[in-house]
Each structure stands twice: as structure tokens, then as C-alpha cells.
Amino acid sequence: MDKVFIEGLEIEALIGIYDWERRIRQTLVFDLEMGFDNRVPAASDDIAHTLNYKAVSKRLIAYVQASEFGLVETLAERCAQIVIDEFKVDWLRLKLSKPGAVRGARAVGVIIERSRQA
């Protein structure tokens, strides 16, 4: 399966379960792999035929910056659903990292894989 990917997309958000986290914004890092048949845009050389990684990135930036969830699980799930619904993606893997959230760890977070429901 072909893929389009976005790696290391940094977005600031209000996220976390502790009181101190509700008073600050933290940097989150998104890595996405999205299933897509890249033979179609390769044949036409037309951006309109692509899964446009810039358009996906801009949509996620707008959504995440405005979000206020407690758990990274919730935010990851909503972002996955946006990409599947709005960009006609059938399958994706999304890694959401929260750097520096746990002392001693470079990052913590979740990795989810989701498919379009039949």
C-alpha cells in the first residue's frame, strides 16, 4: 500500500489532566502515515489528485491549536477521524507525542491505527 506521511508536525495546545497543565500550552508532535494510491497523481502530475500533506497539516494545526482535551488518547482519536472523514483516507497510523511530559523520557504518547468504517 502506498502512503503519504507527515513527520514531526509540532503544534501547541492546551492538553493534560493536571491543574498546572490547564494553565499553559504544550508542544505536541504528530507523525502520520496515511494510505493512498499515489499512482494516480504520479500519472497526472496534478496536485489536485494527491492526498495533499500541506492541506492535512493545516487542518490539524487549526484543530489542535483550538482543542482543550485532557488525554492524548482523545485528541489522537479526533484527529484521526478528521483525516479519515475530510480527506477520504481509508487507513492511517497516527503517533501523538508529548515531549518532556515524563521526567527521564524523551517523549510519551499514543500510536493509533484506524480504518474507515464500512
Ligand X SMILES: Nc1nc2c(c(=O)[nH]1)N=C([C@H](O)[C@@H](O)CO)CN2
Which residues are designated catalytic? 98
Q: Does 77 bind ligand X (CB under 6 A)?
A: no
Among 40, 47, 71, 105, binds ligand X (CB under 6 A): 71
DSSP codes joined into one string, 10-75: EEEE---SSGGGGGS-EEEEEEEEEE--THHHHHH--GGGS--HHHHHHHHHHHHHH---S-HHHH
Q: Which stretch binds ligand X (CB under 6 A): 14-22, 29-37, 45-53, 58-66?
A: 14-22
Indicate the residue among 13 and 34 with the shorter CB distance to ligand X: 13
Q: Which stretch binds ligand X (CB under 6 A): 15-23, 28-36, 59-67, 89-97?
A: 15-23
Among 1, 17, 66, 118, binds ligand X (CB under 6 A): 17
Q: Which amino acid is at 27?
A: T
Site string for ligand X, 27-66 (x = CB under 6 A): ----------------------------------------
Could you count the other beta carbons within 10 Å of the beta carbon of residue 12?
13
Axis crossing angle, helix 72-86 with helix 53-66, rounded to the nearest 10: 140
